[in-house]
Structures are given as C-alpha cells and as structure tokens.
Amino acid sequence: MRNMSFMLTKKQMYNRTKGVTRRLGWWFLKPGDLVMSCEKCQGLKKGERIKRIYPIRIIEAGGEELNTITKAEVIKEGFPEMTPMDFIEMFMREMKCQEDELVNRIAFIEEKE
C-alpha cells in the first residue's frame, strides 16, 4: 500500500473533516485503490519514522483546474472557514503553482481496518 502525505492537513485528517484532496500528481489513482494516509512521508530526519494516520479508499480521481473550486469543495478539503479564493491562494503558495493549474481532485473515504 502506498503512503500519501497529509502534512499540511493532518489536523483535518485526524478530525475526519477531510474527504477530498487536491494534488499535482497521483494521476495513476483510480476508484477502489487503497492508500495509507500519513503525517509526513518524505524529508524525514534521521531516526524519524512515518506516522500513519489511517487507510483511505479512493472513490474518485480526476483532473480539474484549481480555480474552479467551490465553497462546498473547500469544506470537503477540511477548510470550512476559508473562501474558495483563500484556498486557491494557500494551495498556490504551498505547491508553487498557478491558479489555472490542472490538479488531481481525489475523493476518499476512511477504510476501516
């Protein structure tokens, strides 16, 4: 099972308020795939270990422009306090991309072990 980092949204994952994530990659994902959500997967310091959150099952994955995000989608991302523009600006800052970037919208559910 592959690990997927939720470093910027680990609080939302632990609170179970996130059911959608947008990525610049992960284009190979398809509905039914099982992935392990983690706090951080890369850039671990010596002695650090991957901290698993819980397994997730992919229910949808597909491309869309970042700037098409709606308020309902921002809430699904785990940011009910943000406007779509707030989310777009945060995503662009963190991922170093443009607002019309094609992103992979990935919807998932928690997979009970």
pLDDT digits (tens, 9 = 90+) for 77-112: 999 999 999 999 999 999 999 999 999 999 999 998
What is the number of domains present in the chain?
A: 1
Q: How far apart are CA 75 and CA 87, in angstroms?
A: 10
The domain of 15 spans 2-110
Rounded to 5°, angle at Cα 14 from 10 and 18: 75
pLDDT in tens, 10-60: 999 999 999 999 999 999 999 999 999 999 877 777 888 889 999 999 999
Other CB atoms closer than 10 Å to residue 103's CB: what's the count? 22
CATH of the domain at 75: 3.10.400.10
Residue type (1 letter), 62: G
pTM: 0.93
Residue type (1 letter), 92: M
> CA 67 → CA 20, 21, 85, 87, 101, distances in Å?
16, 14, 8, 9, 8
